[in-house]
Amino acid sequence: MKLLRAWAGLTALIIAAWLLVLLFIFVLDLLLPVVLSNVLRALLGLVLLAGWIAGMAVLVEVVRRRVAQKPAPESCAG
Amino acid sequence: MYAALLAAAVGFVVTRLSAPALISFLRSRGVVRPDAHKPGNPQVAHAGGIVIFLGVAAGFASWVALTGISDAVVRAAVALGAGAICFLVGLVDDLRVLGGLTKTLATVLSILPVVVAALLRPDLVKWGRPSLPFVGTLRITIIYWALLPLAVAGPANVVNMLDVLNGVTPGMMIAAYSTLALIAAVTGGHATLALSLIVVGVLLAYYPYNAYPARVFNGDSGSLFLGGLLGALAVVDHYEFVVFTLLLPHLLNGFMILVSFRGFKEHRKVPKRPTYVDDRGVLHPSRDADAPLTLTRLALLLGGSATEREVARLYFFLELSACALALLSALH
């Protein structure tokens, strides 16, 4: 197994997810103080959260469909 | 700090001494499962969570004996109570298999000790304003309440979903709890510091029994307990984002599985496997377009086929990446 290659790929994925969550937090921090009604704030927060989850779900589905077509790297195991 | 270190030492010794006897006992009672990633599928003792829980309970008891009752002890007891519910759910599943959805819903109940504590002692357990990096605290009370049922159940289940290879969960959890202990030491989270050190002590003693080739599997009792406790500490001591970051590899894996399966599914009932093992014990990624995407399958696709030990090592290094991000989040 090419450990470094797999580690770098998965770490890049983790950093991307971490940055996306930070972006979500910044958007919440920017938008929530503008909305005065508590109910609307909650709704906005939940809509943003649902949108973020849906976006991640689409991303995973795209990756899942693409990886099945990708040729396998040369194995070093065994 | 010294009391917590002593308690961690007690946890280490109790685990080291009790593990061989408990593993023999589990084998003698037929609590075994086949090791699917080894040629010949040898039978391995199951429900190693009993060893972990016993060690943590002993460490916690000694910490209480050394420090007496304090606010930190109460907070730690609340978190441990939530972890204990996860442990019991996992133990039932280890002895009598539960459905995927049933198990997930049962772990949601583990938030109850935190809710009761927050209602009875709001001065001790506060919520609604999570501590977030770069923006400080954010008032998101309603969203917080909406997500609260998942605060313990989520971490518990995602750690359980990645507990698929020998040594992965204890190895990754040693790194995660060590980082959390370091952050708690710097930021003054006494309950989190003590329990994290105790868990690290216990897992250091337990790791050789679960490392390749495993003599005992953690079982759901082990993985749900370790994940659930991490989630409970996040809520009780406000390390929400830190714990979220520490669990990013687990969360990504869980998310991939949920999206691939379009819901909760018990891993024994998965029709198409994401990976397969050859006669030499080498793991290969499935090439089936309909097979679910998991972190292990993605790792094998990126790095090529590998032995179980190599993938376990990769996961440990991946957890170190998450630990670095967690440190950056906490100490920015």
What is the per-residue pLDDT across B252-305, written as a single tens digit (0 to 9) for each? 999 888 888 766 555 556 667 888 888 888 999 888 777 888 999 999 988 889
Whether residue A76 is predicted with pLDDT greater than 80 in this model: the reply is: no
Amino acid B60 reads F
What is the predicted pLDDT for the residue at B263?
64
What is the predicted pLDDT for the residue at A1?
65
Whether residue B186 is predicted with pLDDT greater than 70 in this model: the reply is: yes
- C-alpha A75, offset from chain centre: 29
Residue B67, in any domain of the structure = yes
Residue B123, in any domain of the structure = yes
> What residue in A sits closest to B305 (Cα-Cα)?
A75
Lowest mean pLDDT among B123-132, B190-199, B201-210, B270-279: B123-132
CB pairs under 8 A between A and B: 148
Render pLDDT for B311-322 as a digit per residue (tens, 0 to 9): 999 999 999 999
Amino acid B195 reads L
CB-based contact (8 Å) between B332 and chain A? no
State the nearest Cα–Cα gap between A23 and chain B, in angstroms. Answer: 11
User: Of the candidates A13, A45, A67, which has its C-beta nearest B143's C-beta?
Assistant: A45
Band (pLDDT 50/70/90 cuts) for residue A49 is confident
Domain span at residue B9 reads: 2-265+309-330
Q: Report the alpha-carbon distance of residue B188 to residue B184 in Å, rounded.
A: 5
Render pLDDT for B81-97 as a digit per residue (tens, 0 to 9): 999 999 999 999 999 87
Residue B150, in any domain of the structure = yes
Whether residue B79 is predicted with pLDDT greater than 60 in this model: the reply is: yes
Site of tokens 């307990």: B225
Q: Report the alpha-carbon distance of residue B111 to residue B247 in Å, rounded.
A: 18
CB-based contact (8 Å) between B88 and chain A? no
Contact assignment for A1 to B134 by CB distance below 8 Å: no
> What residue in B sits closest to A71 (Cα-Cα)?
B301
State the nearest Cα–Cα gap between B249 and chain A, in angstroms. Answer: 7
Contact assignment for B299 to A70 by CB distance below 8 Å: no
Residue B174, in any domain of the structure = yes
CB-based contact (8 Å) between A34 and chain B? no
Q: Report the alpha-carbon distance of residue B317 to residue B302 in Å, rounded.
A: 15
User: Of the candidates B138, B313, B322, which has its C-beta nearest A14's C-beta?
Assistant: B322
**Domain count within chain B:** 1
Lowest mean pLDDT among A12-26, B65-79, B317-331: A12-26
Residue B275, in any domain of the structure = no
Whether residue B238 is predicted with pLDDT greater than 60 in this model: the reply is: yes
pTM of the model: 0.92
Start-to-end CA span in chain B (Å) = 24
> Which residues of chain B does A26 touch, with a Cβ-Cβ cutoff of 8 Å?
134-135
State the nearest Cα–Cα gap between A24 and chain B, in angstroms. Answer: 11
CB-based contact (8 Å) between B9 and chain A? no
Residue B196, in any domain of the structure = yes
What is the predicted pLDDT for the residue at B134?
78
Whether residue A8 is predicted with pLDDT greater than 70 in this model: the reply is: yes
Q: Report the alpha-carbon distance of residue B82 to residue B153 in Å, rounded.
A: 9
Q: Which residues pair with B284 in a beta bridge?
A: B276
**What secondary structure letter does DSSP report for B211?**
S
For A29-57, b/e burial (b = at least 16 CB within 10 A) is eeebeeeeeeeebbebbeebbeebeeebe
Amino acid B65 reads A
CB-based contact (8 Å) between B312 and chain A? no
Band (pLDDT 50/70/90 cuts) for residue B99 is confident
Render pLDDT for B10-57 as a digit per residue (tens, 0 to 9): 999 999 999 999 999 999 999 999 888 888 888 999 989 999 999 999
Residue B291, in any domain of the structure = no
CB-based contact (8 Å) between A12 and chain B? no
